[in-house]
Amino acid sequence: MSAQWQEQAMPIDAGVSLINGDASDLLLCGAAPLARGEFLHRVRALAARLPDAPFVINLCERRDHFIIGFCAALLRGQVTLLPPSRAAGMVDDVAKLYPGSYRLGDAFGTLSCDVRVDDAGPAHAADIVDRSATPLVPAGQLAMIGFTSGSTGAPSANPKTWGALVQTNTANLHALADLFGDRQASLVATVPPQHMYGMEMSVLLPMLGPFAVHPGRPFFPHDIAAALAEVAGPRLLVTTPVHLRALLEADIDLHALAAIVTATAPLPADLAGRAETRFGCEVHELFGSTETCVIAQRRTAHEDAWHLFEDLRLHPQPDGTRVERPSLQQPLLLADLVELVDGGRGFLLRGRQADLLEIAGKRASLGDLTRRLQSIDGVRDAAMLQADADAAGVRRLIAIVVADAAVTDAAILGALRLTTDPVFLPRRIIRVEALPRNDTGKLPRDALLALVARR
pLDDT tier for residue 224 given thresholds of 50, 70 and 90: very high
pLDDT in tens, 366-393: 888 888 898 898 998 888 888 876 665 6
**85-97 average pLDDT score:** 86
Measured CA to CA, the distance from residue 357 to residue 426 in angstroms comes to 13
pLDDT in tens, 123-145: 444 444 445 578 999 999 999 99
**262-291 average pLDDT score:** 94
The whole-number pLDDT of residue 11 equals: 63
- pLDDT of 10 > 70? The answer is no
| CATH number given to 360-454 | 3.30.300.30
The whole-number pLDDT of residue 66 equals: 95
Measured CA to CA, the distance from residue 445 to residue 124 in angstroms comes to 47
Rg (alpha carbons) of the chain, rounded to whole number: 22
**132-159 average pLDDT score:** 81
The whole-number pLDDT of residue 150 equals: 55
Name the residue with higher pLDDT: 276 or 451.
276
**88-92 average pLDDT score:** 86
The whole-number pLDDT of residue 160 equals: 95
pLDDT in tens, 161-192: 999 999 999 999 998 988 887 778 999 999 99
Measured CA to CA, the distance from residue 87 to residue 105 in angstroms comes to 14
How much of the chain exceeds pLDDT 70, in percent? 89
Neighbours of 351 (CB within 10 A): 18
pLDDT tier for residue 122 given thresholds of 50, 70 and 90: very low
The whole-number pLDDT of residue 280 equals: 96
SS3 content of the chain, % helix, strand, coil (to 5): 30, 25, 40
The whole-number pLDDT of residue 126 equals: 43
- pLDDT of 235 > 90? The answer is yes
CATH number of the domain at 3-303, out of 3.10.105.10, 3.40.50.1100, 3.40.50.12780, 3.40.720.10? 3.40.50.12780
Task: Return the domain boundaries, the chain.
Answer: 3-303, 360-454
How far, CA to CA in Å, does 191 sit from each of 6, 197, 224?
Answer: 25, 8, 11
Name the residue with higher pLDDT: 374 or 259.
259
pLDDT tier for residue 12 given thresholds of 50, 70 and 90: low
**227-237 average pLDDT score:** 96
Helix (H) or strand (E) run with residue 94 in it: helix 88-97
pLDDT tier for residue 156 given thresholds of 50, 70 and 90: confident
pLDDT in tens, 18-67: 999 999 999 999 999 999 999 999 999 999 999 999 999 999 989 999 99
